[in-house]
Amino acid sequence: MSLRVAMIVVFVFLYAPMLLLVIYSFNESRLVTVWAGFSTRWYGELFRDRQMMSALWVSLRVAFMAATTAVVLGTLAAVALTRLGPFRGRNALGVLVTAPLVIPEVITGLSLLLLFVAMGQLIGWPAERGMVTVWIAHVTFATAFVTVVVAARLARFESALYEAALDLGATPFRAFVQVVLPVIAPALLAGWLLAFTLSLDDLVIASFTTGPGATTLPMVVFSSVRLGVSPKVNALATLLIAFVVLAALASWWLMQRRSAYRDT
Amino acid sequence: MPETPARPWGRWLVIGIPLVWLSLFFLLPFGIVLKISLSEAAVAIPPVQPWFGVEGQWLSATFEHFRLLVSDTLYLSAYLSSLRIATVSTVLCLLVGFPLALGLARAAPRWQGILLLLVIIPSWTSLLIRVYAWMGILGNTGVINNMLLALGLIDQPLVMLRTDFAVYVGIVYAYLPFMVLPLYATLVRIDPALLEAAADLGATAPTVFLRVVLPLATGGIIAGSMLVFIPAIGEFVIPELLGGADTLMIGRVLWQEFFNNRAWPLAAAVAVVLLAVLLAPLWLFHHQQSRSLELER
């Protein structure tokens, strides 16, 4: 019973701040914390904010590219770690895959920037930093998260299915694409969404590795928020929260349907 | 599933592509950070001596940046206060997260999925936005102060924003899901029969908790604690937005040296020392991860 009370308290702690953001995004007043009546004017101002909208476009493109690449790399890494048995360098790959999960972002950001500068001096590429360098940086840390998600699914995969395909004459590549991929597809989608949100949210690594003309949304939000609370950011936050909650409910609903289908 | 050895090149592609990418963009950069931390600063773009010196020699190491880190007390106290803030936040996360994880593990199976989702959803929304939310709550004209003033409980607003207290709240709030998920994963695997057996043999509830539940949850406690402690030590956004000017954290110092002072070699030296400090917790985390992977198979 007391456990249930504790759970409710923690859930209130988790959700009350976000709920307040949503409520105050509909506040007429410029002073964020004084209620002055219902209004949607800050949403209008948000969409008219050229700087934020172009930063959003940059962020969406980088996140899409980074998530797609990270799913490919992460799936390869997950297959290597869970399905290929022992090989030389397995331990090294394991370390390289788990370390980005926890290494502080300032270190990852600084080290990638110094790499790009050194590469630019040595081989002339990248000549200047921008969307491409942010993309590489985001792929590198998002791959770790995708690997964890996909490896967890692969570890539970019935290998008999794959072996049956091989016995029936499929090449390992074909067996993987036609037998394994459809089964682990939900994990790939989950990994892609996770990588996408991580990239969309990243401030620190992008700040280090970006260059002129490639300002991402978190960088614009951060410089505005640093000066204090702003109703426009509340509106942006509300849209983001709504998007995440809808996506989460959709994925939950899909999973429910799948398990109901399995049980019958 | 043993891969058929018929096409070894396919096997090597699967291993090689991620290995090469991560070696190039994750491992190699640390070597460069080390190299830059030993380089002379320069008034140029970029503000370090070039990769190859004028005489074609590139191993002209200098230890002046590391010497500065040791001699200037600013850096030492920044490291110490980062350690303190990360330790306290990790313990707080554990205290808040453990009951939640235990509640999740004991909930009816059909509820566990949706409850777990409720824990994860906040971590899918932007960290920046969630930290920002607390600026509006803790500020002098924030929600808490407005409420307390309206109730007449206080005459003057409590100063909460821009203090270490706000940083603790922010870190616990932002990292709580990372603590709860590994805890839940170990707690849900504990066989209820073990707890019943202990109770039947006369153990009181606190004894069952201390002698049965806690030892079996050690793996989750270690994994969750490392997932909070290691990133929290280098945290930048939370102390920058919620902390005061005197909230020293090493991630913030690194940022300022790099962006405000353009002292690239010094920032690199700060990163090298931070990484050295983190080696032991990183090893613990990796050890725990590989053990849990072994157990799952």
Asked whether residue B54 carries a pLDDT value surpassing 50, the answer given is: no
Taking residues A207-211, what's their average pLDDT?
Answer: 94
Give the model's pLDDT for residue B29: 94
Selected for mutation to probe chain A from B7, B14, B179, B283 (highest A CB count within 10 Å) is: B14
Taking residues A131-144, what's their average pLDDT?
Answer: 96
Instruction: Pick the residue from chain B with its C-alpha nearest to A160.
Output: B1
Taking residues B1-11, what's their average pLDDT?
Answer: 62
The phi-psi region of residue B154 (left if phi > 0; otherwise alpha if psi is between -120 and 50; otherwise beta) is: beta
Taking residues A25-31, what's their average pLDDT?
Answer: 85
Give the model's pLDDT for residue A261: 58
Give the model's pLDDT for residue A135: 97
Look at residue B154 and give its three-state secondary structure: coil
Asked whether residue A172 carries a pLDDT value surpassing 90, the answer given is: no
What b/e sequence results for A176-201 when a residue is b if at least 16 CB atoms lie within 10 Å of its CB, and e otherwise?
Answer: beebbeeebeebbebbbbbbbbbbbb
The mean pLDDT of chain B is: 88
For residue B55, name the pLDDT band (cuts at 50, 70, 90). very low
Tell me the residue range of the domain where A58 lies: 51-228
Are A8 and A117 part of one and the same domain? no
Taking residues B15-34, what's their average pLDDT?
Answer: 93
Are B159 and B83 part of one and the same domain? yes
A94 and B286 Cβ atoms separated by less than 8 Å: yes
Are B75 and B130 part of one and the same domain? yes
Min CA distance, A224 vs chain B (Å)?
Answer: 11
Q: How far apart are CA A240 and CA B125, in angstroms?
A: 7
Q: How far apart are CA A262 and CA A153, in angstroms?
A: 17
Per CB-CB distance under 8 Å, the chain B contacts of A77 are 18, 22
Min CA distance, B80 vs chain A (Å)?
Answer: 16
Quick one: which of A193, A240, A165 has its CA closest to A63?
A193
B49 within some domain: no
Instruction: Kindly give, in sequence order, each residue whose CB lies less than 8 Å from that of residue B279, ignoring residues fewer than 6 positions away.
Output: none
Interface touch A247/B6, C-beta < 8 Å = no
Give percent above pLDDT 70 in chain B: 91
Are B94 and B9 part of one and the same domain? no
Instruction: Pick the residue from chain A with its C-alpha nearest to B27.
Output: A96
Per CB-CB distance under 8 Å, the chain B contacts of A218 are 126, 128
Are B143 and B243 part of one and the same domain? yes
B90 and B222 Cβ atoms separated by less than 8 Å: no
Are A150 and A20 part of one and the same domain? no
Q: Measure CA B23 to chain center.
A: 22
A255 touching B (Cβ < 8 Å):
yes
What single DSSP character describes residue B217?
T
Domain count, chain B: 2
Give the model's pLDDT for residue A147: 94
Domain count, chain A: 2
A45 within some domain: no
B270 and B257 Cβ atoms separated by less than 8 Å: yes
Q: Measure CA B149 to chain center.
A: 36
Tell me the residue range of the domain where B26 lies: 1-37
Give the model's pLDDT for residue A124: 84
Are A217 and A104 part of one and the same domain? yes
Residue A38 has a CB neighbour count (10 Å cut-off) of: 9
Interface touch A172/B271, C-beta < 8 Å = no
Look at residue B188 and give its three-state secondary structure: coil
Give the model's pLDDT for residue B39: 85
Are A21 and A4 part of one and the same domain? yes
Are B65 and B31 part of one and the same domain? no
Portion 54-113 of A in contact with B at CB < 8 A: 73-74, 76-77, 79-85, 87, 89, 92-108, 110-112
Give percent above pLDDT 90 in chain B: 60
Are A128 and A249 part of one and the same domain? no
Are A31 and A139 part of one and the same domain? no
Encoding tokens for residue A151?
């490896």
Are B106 and B65 part of one and the same domain? yes
Per CB-CB distance under 8 Å, the chain A contacts of B258 are 110, 208
Q: How far apart are CA A126 and CA A226, in angstroms?
A: 31
The mean pLDDT of chain A is: 89
Give percent above pLDDT 70 in chain A: 96
Quick one: which of A247, A250, A222, A253 has its CA closest to A236?
A222
Q: How far apart are CA B226 and CA B235, in angstroms?
A: 14
Higher pLDDT, B51 or A202: A202
What single DSSP character describes residue B212?
I
B212 and B192 Cβ atoms separated by less than 8 Å: no
Taking residues A153-165, what's their average pLDDT?
Answer: 87
For residue B296, name the pLDDT band (cuts at 50, 70, 90). low
Q: How far apart are CA B121 and CA B203, in angstroms?
A: 38
Lowest average pLDDT, out of B32-46, B58-72, B127-141, B283-297, goes to B283-297
pLDDT tens by residue, B106-154: 998 888 888 999 999 998 888 999 999 999 899 888 889 988 998 999 9
Peptide bond into B5 cis (omega under 30): no
Interface touch A248/B18, C-beta < 8 Å = no
pLDDT tens by residue, B228-267: 999 999 999 999 999 998 899 999 999 999 999 999 999 9
Higher pLDDT, A5 or B294: A5
Q: Measure CA A119 to chain center.
A: 27
Which of B10, B282, B296 has the CB atom closest to A99's CB atom?
B282
ipTM for this prediction: 0.90
Residue with tokens 């940022």: B255
Length of chain A: 264
A44 within some domain: no
Are A213 and A85 part of one and the same domain? yes
Interface touch A143/B21, C-beta < 8 Å = yes
Give the model's pLDDT for residue B188: 92
Min CA distance, A54 vs chain B (Å)?
Answer: 18
For residue B297, name the pLDDT band (cuts at 50, 70, 90). very low
Q: How far apart are CA B297 and CA B286, in angstroms?
A: 17
Give the model's pLDDT for residue B57: 46
